[in-house]
A and B are shown apart, each in its own frame.
Chain A
Amino acid sequence: MAELVSSLKHPLSFRGGWFWLSFLVLFISWGAAYTQQTALSLTILSVAVMASVARTARDQEVLKATELSLAAERKPTEPPTQVPERMQRINRSLSELLTECEVNIDRVKSTQDDAVETLSCAFASLRSLVEEQNTLTYALLKSDAESDEVYAVQLQQFVEETDQTLMSFIDTSEQISQSTQSLMTQVNTICEAMPTVQKALSDIDAISSQTNLLALNAAIEAARAGEAGRGFAVVADEVRKLSTRSTEFSGVITQQMTMIGDLIVSLEKEARFVADMDVSNVICKKDHIREQLLSIAEKARNDMSVTEQLESLNGQFAATIGDAIRGMQFGDINGQNLTHTGGIISMVRDQLETHDMAHIEAQIEDYQGQLVARGQLDHNPVSASSMDAGDVELF
């Protein structure tokens, strides 16, 4: 049929018999013209032209009828009542798709709102934790709760003061030791000399006593000798005086020695007093040092408590940063959702630009079929509407 149409479209085509008939008529008219049969040739030509025109018109009508016939074969005649039904089906499908778009966009907004809130809380918490950490760190560095002085500076001052005190203590101790040694040596020397002196005095007393006795005997013998012993009596008398004076001197010396002994005792007391005075000074310093050490121990206990609090903060830091990481994933989740929703909208827009309703319905059915084939039963790879952590399942 198509071939017939093609040949009819070209009445002068070489395939048609009508072409050869036309050629024969022209030949005859040419022959008539050649034989100078003008009227005959003109008549034949006129008839040929009129026949050609008529035939062409008839061919055009046949061609038009054939094309209409072909069109009718391609588009089966649809009863007018089915057009609104198709429109309704298309509208329903488009409505379902747009409803899904609406739901997806709601999920995106919900997810985004939740993500922003999660991130805001996480960062606020981080800021608070950092401030608390700074406070605790400063407390570790401070010397005590009331002072702003850095503890390390106070500790350094304490160390230097302690060092100077100890050096002073050592020097003083050495001096005391040396002085005491020297003192005691001298005292011992004196004490060692005392018995010798006392013995000498004792000997002197003995000699004086004997001398006095001899002088008395001499005086007696002198008296017995009469006038001849008068000189001897004088001598004896002088000797007795010397003996008496010797005894007196011995007494004076003994008194002096006693006084010296008292002085030595006093000296010992003084030395002991000096020694006691230095020791008490050192004890005072030692007490001060002990107080400082107790303060250091107290500070160490406080530092341990602060360190425990800092360790607790580390755990809170980790949890807060975990919340921030979870919140940041909204970009990937919402991106997939928007890509999927955008695909639906693009498909709907493309169909709205097409006026062939059968084609629209077929495309929509095909699109929905593809989604089912991909396993996306709810048409969307994303189901999350918040930033709560997703489920975990180990097979």
Chain B
Amino acid sequence: MSKNILVVDDSVSIRQMVEATLKAAQFNVTLAEDGQDALDKCSRGQFDFVLTDQNMPRMDGLSLIKALRGKAQFSKTPIVVLTTESSDDMKQKGKAAGATGWMVKPFSPDVLLNVLKRVLG
């Protein structure tokens, strides 16, 4: 059965390119434009993997991760951050918030698919 992926980013172009990459690999993709939108969608459905940006309006990535980790059904869900931030300080904050991994933009489609394969098995 195809896995369900939630993609969270305030950039339309990033959402489009991630969606195109994942759909070509037969994943089911749901899009959200910021952390709050993502939380709303998580309250209505279950996802096997969450890919989120960090700098977004209304609710940023780290706040979203902390909120999801507080929900029982998302406590073990793989959550990877895809962001322009590359500092070790931000990575440590992400790890402390409960992130599974940290990817720095720009992403390469084959690398993204490889990460999903490693995390989802």
Q: A residues bordering B, Cβ < 8 Å?
A: 318-319, 321-322, 325-333, 335-337, 375, 377-378, 381-384, 387-395
Contact = CB atoms under 8 A, between A and B. Distances in A.
Contacts of A332: 9, 11, 13-14, 84, 105
Contacts of B107: 326, 329, 389-390
A201 B16 CA distance: 111
B106 A330 contact: yes
A389 B14 CA distance: 14
A381 B55 CA distance: 8
Given A322-B109, A390-B86, 6 more contacts: A325-B109, A332-B105, A383-B84, A384-B104, A392-B102, A392-B115
A383 B87 contact: yes
A259 B35 CA distance: 116
B69 interface: no
B34 to A, nearest CB: 14
A328 B90 contact: no
A394 B115 contact: yes
Contacts of A321: 109
Nearest to B60: A374
B100 to A, nearest CB: 6
B100 A333 contact: no
Given A325-B20, A331-B11, A394-B119, A383 B86 contact: yes
A327 B110 CA distance: 14
A318 B91 CA distance: 31
Given A329-B17, A333-B106, A391 B86 contact: yes
Contact of B105 (A318, A322, A329): A329
A116 to B, nearest CB: 14
A387 B84 CA distance: 12
Given A332-B14, A381-B55, A394-B118, A389 B108 contact: yes
A390 B111 CA distance: 10
B120 to A, nearest CB: 12
A390 B106 contact: yes
A332 B83 CA distance: 10
A329 B106 contact: yes
Given A331-B13, A375-B90, A322 B110 contact: yes
Contacts of A378: 87
Nearest to B110: A322
B89 interface: yes
The 8 closest A-B pairs by CB, nearest first: A390-B104, A389-B108, A329-B106, A332-B11, A394-B101, A322-B109, A382-B84, A395-B95
A384 B9 CA distance: 18
B13 A328 contact: yes
Interface in B48-107: 54-55, 80, 83-87, 89-91, 93-95, 99-107
A377 B13 CA distance: 27
B55 A328 contact: no
Nearest to A332: B11
B30 interface: no
